[in-house]
């Protein structure tokens, strides 16, 4: 009387299985996933420093194509040569600009605003108004220029 090991009939590998029965694989192979993640990590590590631009330049006048029309009339802010602020056609004191913009932003669906500034103004003044526009809820700012400025293609 001895104890023995009973073998399963049909074998243990693919050879012994019948054609119609295929068991679902219950393991996930993560090696390709890890490979793809490492490649993406390397790409982002190399590309991230190139996305930072901070070169101070004196911006020239340019000729640019007009922006496409939208359903809603675009909000326009104008800075005159004297530094006065005009919201559409109404003059606005500097202290009231952000509250008025916030009220307008709450009513509008588009966060687009066009900024028209006199060319003789210092860039600092234009940047201050752009900061106020952003604080008022408008983060898509289009700078309006004249179309007959110098062109980069020599024409």
| Structural Rg of the chain based on CA atoms | 33
Arithmetic mean of pLDDT, 36-51: 86
The DSSP string of 88-104 is TTEEE-GGGHHHHHHHH
Domain layout of the chain by residue ranges: 76-144
Q: Is the pLDDT of residue 129 over 50?
A: yes
Give the residue carrying structure tokens 């008022």: 136
pLDDT at 104 over 90: no
- How far separated are the first and last CA of the chain, in Å rounded? 105
The pLDDT confidence band at residue 86, using thresholds 50, 70 and 90, is confident
Q: What is the pLDDT of residue 148?
A: 65
Q: What confidence category does residue 40 fall into, taking pLDDT thresholds of 50, 70 and 90?
A: very high
**CB-count exposure of residue 114 (10 Å: 0-12, 13-18, 19+):** middle
Sheet holding 140-144, edge to edge: 90-92, 85-87, 75-79, 112-117, 140-144
- Give the CATH number of domain 76-144: 3.30.420.270
> What pLDDT, on a 0 to 100 scale, did the predictor assign at position 72?
66
In the chain, which ranges are continuous DSSP H helix? 31-47, 97-107, 123-135
For residue 14, pLDDT beyond 90? no
The whole-model pTM stands at: 0.51
Q: Look at residue 97 in the predicted model and tell me its pLDDT.
A: 87
């Amino acid at each position: 009387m001895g104890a023995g090991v009973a073998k399963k009939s049909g074998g243990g590998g693919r050879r012994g299985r019948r054609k119609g029965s295929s068991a679902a694989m219950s393991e996930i192979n993560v090696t390709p996933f890890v490979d793809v993640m490492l490649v993406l990590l390397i790409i982002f590590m190399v590309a991230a420093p190139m996305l930072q631009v901070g070169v101070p330049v004196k911006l020239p006048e340019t000729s640019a194509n007009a922006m496409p029309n939208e359903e809603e009339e675009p909000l326009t802010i104008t800075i005159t040569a004297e530094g006065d602020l005009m919201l559409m056609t109404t003059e606005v004191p500097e202290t009231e600009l952000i509250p008025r913009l916030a009220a307008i932003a709450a009513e509008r669906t588009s966060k687009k605003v066009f900024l028209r500034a006199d060319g003789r103004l210092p860039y600092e003044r234009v940047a201050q108004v752009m900061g106020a526009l952003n604080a008022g809820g408008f983060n898509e700012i289009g700078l309006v220029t004249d179309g007959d400025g110098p062109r980069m293609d020599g024409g």
